[in-house]
């Protein structure tokens, strides 16, 4: 069974903290993605990666960075957390560059910044 695992379901962090959200996939997929989900806005792409050590900005990269040192792991980093980054964060992976196959999602991390 294919699996995308996010390290935490719920996180509470303080303003200004550096926050790491971890995602691991076991399907040997090339592509990995970080989205944030907010009511009424759907899912918005933060960053994606199509290969190890490669990264591309999505639609809302400001305030975030990413790391992909290994193919199976894609980390999202909030350099200095702010209250407007309170959201649900979803990691996804998919095979092949340019493929039109489906993406597989993790269960999500609900981050609250206080």
Query: For residues 81 and 19, is the Cβ–Cβ distance under 8 A?
Result: yes
Question: Looking at beta carbons only, is 3 or 18 nearer to other proteins?
Answer: 3
Which residues contact residue 57 at a Cβ distance below 8 angstroms, ignoring those fewer than 6 apart? 47
Question: Looking at beta carbons only, is 37 or 67 nearer to other proteins?
Answer: 37
Q: What is the DSSP letter of 9?
A: S
Query: For residues 34 and 74, is the Cβ–Cβ distance under 8 A?
Result: yes
Question: Looking at beta carbons only, is 1 or 14 nearer to other proteins?
Answer: 1
Q: Locate all alpha helices (DSSP H) within 15-92, ordered by sequence.
A: none
* Structure token digits, residue 102: 């489906």
Query: Nearest distance from residue 14's CB to other proteins, in Å?
Result: 25
Distance CA 94, CA 4 (A): 10
Question: Looking at beta carbons only, is 80 or 101 nearer to other proteins?
Answer: 101
Q: Note the residues at the interface with other proteins (CB under 8 A).
A: 4, 31, 33, 35, 40-45, 48, 50, 56, 58, 90, 92, 94, 96-103, 105-108
């Amino acid at each position: 069974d294919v699996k995308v695992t996010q390290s935490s379901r719920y996180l509470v962090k303080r303003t200004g903290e550096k926050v790491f959200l971890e995602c691991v996939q076991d399907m040997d997929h090339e592509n990995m993605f970080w989205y944030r989900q907010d009511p009424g806005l759907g899912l918005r792409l933060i960053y994606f990666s199509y290969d190890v050590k490669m990264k591309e900005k999505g639609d809302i990269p400001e305030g975030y960075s990413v790391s992909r040192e290994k193919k199976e792991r894609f980390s999202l980093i909030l350099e200095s957390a702010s209250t407007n980054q309170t959201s649900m964060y979803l990691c996804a992976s998919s095979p092949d560059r340019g493929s039109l196959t489906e993406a597989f999602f993790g269960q999500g991390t609900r981050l609250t910044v206080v």
